Amino acid sequence: MMNYKELIAKLDRNSLPNHIGVIMDGNGRWAKKNNTTRLNGHKKGAGAVREIVEASVEVGLEYLTIYAFSTENWRRSKQEVHGLLKLIMNTLMQEIDELTKNNIVVKFIGSPKGLSQSYYDQIVENCRKSWNNTGLNLNVAMNYGGRQEIVEAVQKLVSDYSINKFQAEDIDRSLIQKYLYTDNIPDPDLLIRTSGELRLSNFLIWQSAYSELWFTETLWPDFNRQEFVQAILDYQMRQRRFGAAK
Ligand code: FPP
């Protein structure tokens, strides 16, 4: 395999994806393989997040959205849920100053339902430090589920409709988009999923209608910047083939 610098040099800077979404799967299997706890798998996974965020800045990506905790993850053991939420919050608190220094804008997207008010307040309080930045937009999908997102969008939309904010015939795709958590975020061009599962698992289901999908057998804690750039290179190959076929 080529090294990171060589891979970066091969990128076509004029056809970078604007937005990459990542389903970080395989922390549990990595833990099993390495004879350690699932929580240690998630911790190692947080290290891979750091590497991928750094690579995104180096590549000049505009939007990176990572699936950190889904609305379905509440079904895991109390211990794992607690550990995962604590890891995400601690990582945010530890890293926010460095993220901010690197001109990154950090935003959490997901449902406020089920998260305690104090978690929610801490998230906003920390993320806010980065909101005047202009570099990479890092979206952390937390308590996120695509169907739940659509449910909440419909609730707000119907509520606005009932106070005559718009007429039924004004409802179109762009109006619906405005009610999603991803209002003002472009659709992902490329979705990456690790650990060999070939599913979207309720991630950005409205937004990914035209996304290119890229899968790898690598377990998330082992995912690295070389593979990340390789995914972008493969995406660029697909783009070129698409152009040639027209
Ligand atoms: C999937 O692996 C991964 C998750 C449910 C959590 C992802 C979270 C992190 C990588 C932690 C760090 C995040 C941030 C934002 C700092 P799995 O547990 O489903 O793995 P398995 O399918 O092998 O069991």
**Closest ligand 1 atom to the C-alpha of 73?**
5
| pLDDT tens for the chain, residues 1 to 246 | 789 999 999 999 999 999 999 999 999 999 999 999 999 999 999 999 999 999 999 999 999 999 999 999 999 999 999 999 999 999 999 999 999 999 999 999 999 999 999 999 999 999 999 999 999 999 999 999 999 999 999 999 999 999 999 999 999 999 999 999 999 999 999 999 999 999 999 999 999 999 999 999 999 999 999 999 999 999 999 865 655 666
Q: 227 CB contacts (<8 Å, ≥6 apart)?
A: 216, 218
- Spatial contact of 138 and 61, defined as CB atoms under 8 Å apart: no
Domains for the chain: give ranges and CATH numbers.
Answer: 17-144+188-235 (3.40.1180.10)
Known catalytic residue: 121? no
User: How much distance in Å is there from the Cα of 21 to the middle of ligand 1?
Assistant: 14
Cα(4)–Cα(21) distance, rounded to whole angstroms? 21
Known catalytic residue: 25? yes
